[in-house]
Homo-oligomer: A and B are copies of this chain.
Amino acid sequence: MNKYRFTGHRKINNFIEFSLWAPVRRKVELHIYQPFDKIIPMKKDSQGYFTAKVECCETPFKYKYRINGRHEFPDPASFYQPDGVHECSQTYLNSEFNWQDSNFNNHRLEDYIIYELHVGTFTDDGTFFKAAEKISYLKELGINTVEIMPVAQFPGERNWGYDGVYPFAVQNSYGGPDGLKYFVNECHKNNVAVILDVVYNHLGPEGNYFSNFSWYFTSKYHTPWGDAINFDDKYSDGVRNFFINNALYFLENFHIDALRLDAIHSIYDLSANHFLKELNSECKKLSSKLEKPLYLIAESDLNDTKIIDYTDKGGYGIDSQWLDDFHHAVWAYMTGETQGYYSDFGNIEQIFQSISYGFVYRGNYSKFRKRCFGNDSSEFDGKNFVSFIQNHDQVGNRMAGDRISHNIEIHKLKLISAFYILSPYIPMIFMGEEYGEKNCFNYFVDHGDKNLLRAVSEGRKKEFREFYKKAEFKDPACKKTFESSKLNFDLIEKPFHKEIFCHYKKIIDLRKKYISYIMTGRKNINVILENNILTLKYTLDKKKLVLKFNFSGNNTIMPGWSYTLKLEE
């Protein structure tokens, strides 16, 4: 039995083959709307896959699937939704793009310097084409890797991307699949790698017709979004197949270099073969086939090394994971904030721990979680963790969407940015951070379903009820909230912002210069905390790179909130 099955559509000789997984359906037809109107019967096989073949024509097909001769829905594995989540799917042939990235010099994961961006707000018109125009800017800053927030087709006109419903269909308003390819191609021509954020823990609520085709969800587990995606219940093979194909689809057809796996703690799988382990194994097979490294980076709220551990040690083999504890430790200490999960942080010792061992919570009791949390990460390498002082969540999920630069003074910002960018972890900058963007980055959504939209607004208000301030609260449903989240690169010309930009440029440059020291491995790093001064000593070939960060305002052996870097031979 062939385990991995193709879903979606593809060109075979002069035909387009459509493949749909709908094991619980007796009868499915392919309804072509354009360029002609025709209903084509489909054949079901023993694994529940329906297929049909249609002779190619010059224009793409617009189509839906027709269930039991009555109800019609877009293709769950649609490659393109030009008219949004409710309308026809459109065929898209991946073979036709003219790639020019054969000279792209694939990075090692340990070299990554990541820039996280949201396509819709990164530029004024919010497209891949405009985003590509900023690549030279990112290069100037020193960035070699771009991470784009999810691009799966979402409902309405604006979204962070986590309400996407067609995981294969690149958002029409961003430029669709050709737009994404154009962007990746331009990045690669400039030797910039691309990470794509993919969401395998839920599907957006609007335009989600998946349950008409099969058991994509299971009531075994509760998630913040309702029933969990079905990774281990009956019919889960097809669901796993669907998402694994999705990962391979982007890695192979869009030349994506790495995937950022959204919130893997909401991927529930208690089967004997965890979905993430299987996903990783298939991605690594593709990597061998393509002769190019492909990485997986997880967002995880588990503090569990199983995610990044080797498979022969019972791990899933994922290459790296976001290190939230690092962020929380630095943020809480620098801002003094104590709400929510920051209540678990706030002292300098935790910054020492996060830089020394990865997780701050390695089995110790968390007041916020009201239980012991995490396991021991101290044996893992720097490249196994991504560090940051901002990201879309840590900014956008604040009531006001305010950034770190709104919260601390410039000399402190310089200190902590130098600290994380020169840390043994893979650094990730959130768009606008590098020049202290004035605009907040807010949570915004749009839905055709206005009741749903209202519910999101109300839910958001409720979330912040404890410290709700009308003046600061931005309604996620307002278009203005989206518009005001856009970057304003013109600021860089102004002294304050220029100073920050030059600083980021300088420390990124230092990271690159000393990368062999910084990525020398845990055993060659010595961390000392004394009088609020954190010292990092990287040892390589008997030479020492010594960094000192004064996490206090006291002028002692060095000025308050300053840092130094010295190479000791």
Q: Which residues of A contact B (CB under 8 A)?
A: 1, 3, 219-222, 232-237, 265, 268, 270-273, 302-306, 309, 312-315, 363, 365, 369-375
Q: Is the CB of A272 within 8 A of B373?
A: yes
Q: Which residue of B lies closest to A374 (CB)?
A: B272
* Residues in B neighbouring A305, C-beta threshold 8 A: 272
Q: Is the CB of B309 within 8 A of A314?
A: yes
Q: Which of A222, A270, A302, A309: most chain B CB closer than 10 A? A: A270
Q: Which residue of B lies closest to A305 (CB)?
A: B272
Q: Is the CB of B233 within 8 A of A272?
A: no
* Residues in B neighbouring A315, C-beta threshold 8 A: 314
The residue that A373 contacts in the complex, of B271, B303, B365, B375, with Cβ under 8 A, is B271
Q: Which residue of B lies closest to A375 (CB)?
A: B272
C-alpha spacing A402/B34, complex, angstroms:
63
Q: Is the CB of B370 within 8 A of A234?
A: yes
**A contacts with B: majority SS:** loop
Q: Which residue of B lies closest to A312 (CB)?
A: B313
13 A-B pairs with C-beta separation under 8 A = A3-B372, A235-B371, A236-B371, A237-B371, A265-B270, A268-B270, A271-B302, A271-B304, A272-B303, A272-B304, A272-B363, A312-B313, A313-B314
5 closest A-B pairs by beta carbon, nearest first, are A314-B314, A272-B304, A234-B370, A272-B375, A236-B371
Q: Is the CB of A272 within 8 A of B306?
A: yes
* Residues in B neighbouring A236, C-beta threshold 8 A: 371
* Residues in B neighbouring A221, C-beta threshold 8 A: 220-222
* Residues in B neighbouring A363, C-beta threshold 8 A: 272-273
Q: Is the CB of B272 within 8 A of A371?
A: no
Q: Which residue of B lies closest to A364 (CB)?
A: B1
Q: Is the CB of A233 within 8 A of B313?
A: no
* Residues in B neighbouring A219, C-beta threshold 8 A: 222
C-alpha spacing A314/B312, complex, angstroms:
8
* Residues in B neighbouring A273, C-beta threshold 8 A: 363, 372, 375
C-alpha spacing A25/B304, complex, angstroms:
31
Q: Which residue of B lies closest to A231 (CB)?
A: B371
Q: Is the CB of A371 within 8 A of B314?
A: no
Q: Which residue of B lies closest to A316 (CB)?
A: B314
CB distance from A361 to the nearest CB of B (A): 9
C-alpha spacing A306/B269, complex, angstroms:
14
Q: Is the CB of A372 within 8 A of B237?
A: yes
Q: Which residue of B lies closest to A377 (CB)?
A: B272
